Amino acid sequence: MRHSQVIAFRTFFDLVYGPTTSRDRQRAVPHEREARSSSRTAVHETEKCSNTGVIGAVLSAFVASLVFVSTMQADDHAENLSEIWPSVREEAVLTYAPNVPPPINRTTPAIVRVHLDSSVVTEELAPGVLYKYWTFNDHVPGPFIRTRAGDTLELHVTNSDDSGMPHNIDLHAVTGPGGGATVTTGVKGDLRIVKFKLLHPGLFIYHCAAPPVMDHIANGMYGLILVEPEDGLPKVDREFYVLQSEFYTSDPESEEEESGEANDDNEENEDEVVYPYSHKEGLIEHPQFIVFNGHVGSLIGEQALHAKTGERVRIFFGNAGPNKIASFHVIGEIFDKVYREADLISPPARSIQTTLVPAGGATVVEFGVEVPGTYTLVDHAIFRIEKGAVGFLNVEGEPRPDIFHSVDSPVDCEGCQVQP
């Protein structure tokens, strides 16, 4: 990207998220600012020490003690403000798609601590297609975070991206400027510690919003945070985490790779080629891939979802976009309940076939599985199946001829992609 474009994007970022300047830092609570400053120094020192011998080990121990002390300072700070923050602290259970953390049994608020680290990992986006994902905690989508309304989310945000690129996090569950983006921005070696009280129940997208925000979302930096209502959600037998998103790539043979960097990842293995990201394709909203859980085939074959007849299934479904609206549908099922736009307060809509999920939005659907067989998750903008938006839920159990009966056997649907 040209320098002038970067300036323009930074200006745009400042307009949307507010400046990440000293003015923001001045707003930080003094104790926390000190803790953060100590931590940043400590992590930087860790980098420098990594290549030395015995001296390095001694220094590393010293640095580790600094990190410990800085964490204690943060803890002390929490105690000083115990009147406004919950006294109970816990480490969040984080899971990766399609898995969901267990329901929260607490009946009172807690400080819920979550560590998020930015990184770049090269993985298979589709058969034969490698992609350099920008990630939270090395996964696309990032971890599923489960909390309860009234909790205080304590984020420890780090950056392991060797490129030196800044990253941050904007959580749609957070009330405050930038959804937290302005106070979590950091480059490799930085540590940001922030606290956000979660005022609204719902299922929310989170994403990186470092400039240019669209590039950080398009490359994979997103996930879901659930804020359960105080009384929790109705009990179900299975919960799944499914997130739809688009990927914009250009021809790996193209001379005009937009990053301006040589694509030397492809020199050794010609069977799998790294496809470069294309900002240009994103701009015209022309995705080459539309996928569930970051990869073509993430819910197919051995990775398909499973349930048994008689069970109730809940899907936490997010749409990270960055451009397209999702028309979420499960072939062969009717959603008993749809918590439209992930509104967990109002009574859910009933008996819904397909539900719209805006870019940067989410929904929660529930249904019972009565008849055994394979059910197909799709974006019912149906050409998107060919771009990857398809997955399977395999249901085992006894036949139910009272609900679904045929004298003839089913016909195979070879090549149609909506059956395994």
List interacting residues with Cu ion (CB under 5 A).
167, 208, 210, 216, 221
Q: Select 118 or 376, whichever has its Cβ closest to Cu ion.
A: 118
Q: Select 134 or 375, whichever has its Cβ closest to Cu ion.
A: 134
Q: Select 139 or 216, whichever has its Cβ closest to Cu ion.
A: 216
Cβ neighbours around 368 below 10 Å, total: 15
Helix axis angle for 54-80 and 30-49, nearest 10°, is 170
The pair of structure tokens assigned to 415 is: 């090549």
The pair of structure tokens assigned to 208 is: 């990186």
Q: Which residue's beta carbon is nearest to the bound Cu ion?
A: 208
Cβ contacts of 136 within 8 Å, gap of 6 or more? 116, 117, 118, 142, 143, 169, 208, 221, 222, 223
In the bound complex, what is the minimum distance in angstroms from residue 129's beta carbon to Cu ion?
22
Q: Select 39 or 135, whichever has its Cβ closest to Cu ion.
A: 135
Coil/strand/helix, residue 34: helix
3-state SS track over 21-32: CHHHHHHCCHHH
DSSP label at residue 324: P
Q: Select 70 or 184, whichever has its Cβ closest to Cu ion.
A: 184
In the bound complex, what is the minimum distance in angstroms from residue 161's beta carbon to Cu ion?
8
Q: Select 77 or 167, whichever has its Cβ closest to Cu ion.
A: 167
Reading across the β-sheet that carries 361-368, which strands appear in turn? 289-292, 238-247, 312-321, 361-368, 335-339, 349-352
Q: Select 114 or 208, whichever has its Cβ closest to Cu ion.
A: 208
Cβ neighbours around 234 below 10 Å, total: 10
Cβ neighbours around 353 below 10 Å, total: 11
| Strand 170-171 versus strand 89-91 pairing type | unpaired
- Of 1, 232, 4, nearest to 106 by C-alpha is 232
The CA-based angle 107-111-115, given to 5 degrees, is 130
In the bound complex, what is the minimum distance in angstroms from residue 279's beta carbon to Cu ion?
14
Distance between CA 229 and CA 348 in Å, rounded?
A: 14
- Of 155, 72, 71, nearest to 111 by C-alpha is 155
In the bound complex, what is the minimum distance in angstroms from residue 168's beta carbon to Cu ion?
7
Q: Select 145 or 208, whichever has its Cβ closest to Cu ion.
A: 208
In the bound complex, what is the minimum distance in angstroms from residue 349's beta carbon to Cu ion?
35
In the bound complex, what is the minimum distance in angstroms from residue 217's beta carbon to Cu ion?
8
In the bound complex, what is the minimum distance in angstroms from residue 163's beta carbon to Cu ion?
10
In the bound complex, what is the minimum distance in angstroms from residue 188's beta carbon to Cu ion?
12
User: Under a CB-based contact definition with an 8 Å cutoff, are residues 221 and 135 in contact?
Assistant: yes
Distance between CA 43 and CA 53 in Å, rounded?
A: 18
Q: Select 112 or 218, whichever has its Cβ closest to Cu ion.
A: 218
In the bound complex, what is the minimum distance in angstroms from residue 398's beta carbon to Cu ion?
49
